Amino acid sequence: MEQLSGGDMLTRALHDEGVDLIFGYPGGAVLHIYDAIFKQDKIEHILVRHEQAATHAADGYARATGKPGVVLVTSGPGATNAVTGIATAYMDSIPMVILSGQVESRLIGTDGFQETDMVGISRPIVKHSFMVEDAADIPMIVKKAFHIATTGRPGPVVIDIPKDVTDPKVKHPYEYPKDIKMRSYTVPGKGHSGQIKKAVEALLGAKRPMIYAGGGVIQGEGAELLTKLTQKLGYPITNTLMGLGAYPASDPQFLGMLGMHGTYEANMAMHYCDVLLGIGVRFDDRVTNSDTSKFCPDATILHVDIDPASISKTVAADVPIVGSVTAVLEEMLECLEQSQQAIDAEALETWWQQIAKWREKDSLGVTPHTNGIIKPQQVVQAVHRITKGDAYISTDVGQHQMFAAQYYGFDKPRRWINSGGLGTMGFGFPAAMGVQLAFPEAISVCITGEGSFQMNLQEFATCMQYNLPVKIICLNNQSLGMVRQWQDMQYGGRYSHSTYAESLPDFVKLAEAYGHVGIRIENLGELDAKLEEAFALKDRLVFVDVMVDPEEHVYPMAIKGGAMKDMILSKTERT
């Protein structure tokens, strides 16, 4: 059998696992591994400028492709810098494998230089973690790590590697395992047939049905089947923030996003429905609003998820189904095919008429300013127009994220890349790099704000090094917009530490300093032309600094403590 050092084993195992791209940053504890990377040509390594960006870039890559993202960082600060990105991936169930260097085994526990207990620090934010004690275990551990990260409910897995384990002088026989068996880890497959039948019966018997689909449908590659089921039934559907793209936004059955900043019609239909099919969702507090006792009061709740712990966690399910989204949807479709039960067409017609009335409210309507001031929503609409709705949109967190979610209209899964669960500012730009590396020909856009962008702007340099022509659209309102919005609404307009207009950098010059293109847009009249100019520069990174109305709020907005039907619709209107 071939004899390899621990470092060489790692690169070989990654290659044998099908990895061709990793994101990382070198340091003392991983130097043996970096030397192994230098000596091979199968895996490309992208040198980021901060470990947090490595994790977000790998995350963006994973969200866009469905393949696991891979990160390599050194011990101590390298590992702790990666923590925010690992938590981000964990909250959104993104498959990721993080290789972290560790001090030599003999130094562990002695507070050695750049020592930190990475397995301990990351424990609550990983699906699983490994500490490599013997180089001979590397192939098996890598195999297990990828298996765990990518199956069931996906998530990040950390492999912590003491430096001596990758010593080039110590060699071990290498063979990559074909299969693995873990007695303690089984992946749910098919759902319970009896439960599925019950769910289909409930759906067919519904008078006011509603389908509520989330990120699990995208992660589980169930978007196509979900669309088929929804269209077969002719029922209304909403997607969560994480589920945007699971059902085509341009289809008339789509009511828009639901929840805290969901559309009026989606939230109203949720509240008044009598049968709710939740699929790949987790009934989180940004959907249900704070008081779950007021959530969907009349509904029989059918809940499909691959994670049994998600079911009845916050809202009790009447028909729980544990299984993979594709297997369950296939069986539901079959069941539907064979069923003698007919849909109550009359009730459905009445329900759609009600929904049409809610739609008339036009809760996402934008009234343009007449003085040339740009509303942030108009920028997202223009980006949609110019990219023909076919771009990959990454965002950071805040008002711009909600505007992008509300106004871009995603027709395909995996096009919408955002930190939904953890809400990580600084996520968008590195994530857009990961997307661009996965799809060099695609349009990778980062819609951001001047606050979030400054949390990872050092990645300008990475984009220059690897020629990544990401388009950054900065909705610049010169303040931390969402914080400011809450301060407007709940704190008497006292802008405590949410404004900094006087100290903002000149983003155009900043982009230019890194060798990129910067464009500033200040007037509505020039919005389309200048955006088109930016997108026409196909081979260049362009930073578009769009000065937008700082007074704008995101609406609709859920009223805290209320039901889903309780919303603020504008600065002057409430439900």
List the catalytic residues: 51, 113-114, 163, 482
Which range touches another protein (CB under 8 A), out of 187-195, 303-311, 413-421, 532-540?
Answer: 303-311
Eight-class DSSP state of 389:
T
- What is the total residue count of the chain? 575
Pick from 127, 163, 286, 375 the residue near another protein by CB under 8 A.
127
Q: Is 151 in the site for another protein (CB under 8 A)?
A: no
Q: Which amino acid does the sequence have at 347? A: A
306 vs 417 by CB, closer to another protein: 306
Q: Does the protein bind another protein through residue 309 (CB under 8 A)?
A: yes
DSSP letter for each residue of 15-44: HHTT--EEEE---GGGHHHHHHHHT-SSSE
Among 169, 181, 183, 494, binds another protein (CB under 8 A): 183
Tokens read off for 79: 């590992």
Q: How far is the CB of 147 from another protein (least distance, A)?
A: 10
Distance CA 361, CA 350 (A): 18
When computed from its CA atoms, the radius of gyration of the chain, rounded to whole angstroms, is 25
Sole window of 182-190, 381-389, 392-400, 478-486 interacting with another protein (rule: CB under 8 A)? 182-190
User: Considering only 100-108, 127-135, 218-226, 501-509, which stretch makes contact with another protein by CB under 8 A?
Assistant: 127-135
Distance CA 20, CA 41 (A): 10
Local structure of residue 375 (DSSP, 8 states) = P
Residue list 213-252, contact with another protein (CB under 8 A): none
Q: Does 173 bind another protein (CB under 8 A)?
A: no
Choose, by CB under 8 A, the member of 67, 171, 294, 313 that binds another protein.
Answer: 313
Interface with another protein, residue 182, by CB under 8 A: yes
> In angstroms, what is the minimal distance from the CB of 120 to another protein?
7
Question: Nearest approach, Cβ of 310 to another protein (angstroms)?
Answer: 9
In whole angstroms, give the CA distance from residue 223 to residue 211. 13
Q: How far apart are CA 492 and CA 224, in angstroms?
A: 47
Which residue, 418, 480, 471, is CA-closest to 449? 480
Q: Which two tokens stand for residue 417?
A: 């890349």
Distance CA 305, CA 336 (A): 19
Stretch that binds another protein, among 3-11, 247-255, 311-319, 328-336 (CB under 8 A): 311-319
How many residues bind another protein (CB under 8 A)? The answer is 19
Give the containing element (helix H, strand E) for 148. Answer: helix 138-150
Report the residue number, 144 or 375, with the smaller CB distance to another protein. Answer: 144
Residue 185 interacts with another protein (CB under 8 A): yes or no: yes
Stretch that binds another protein, among 26-34, 181-189, 397-405, 529-537 (CB under 8 A): 181-189
Q: Is 129 in the site for another protein (CB under 8 A)?
A: yes
Q: State how far the Cα of 402 lies from the Cα of 185, in Å rounded to an integer.
A: 37
CB of 144 to another protein, least distance (A): 9
DSSP string, 167-195: -TT-EEE----S----TT-----SPPHHH
Binding site for another protein (CB under 8 A): 119-120, 123-124, 127-129, 131, 148, 182-185, 307-309, 312-313, 316
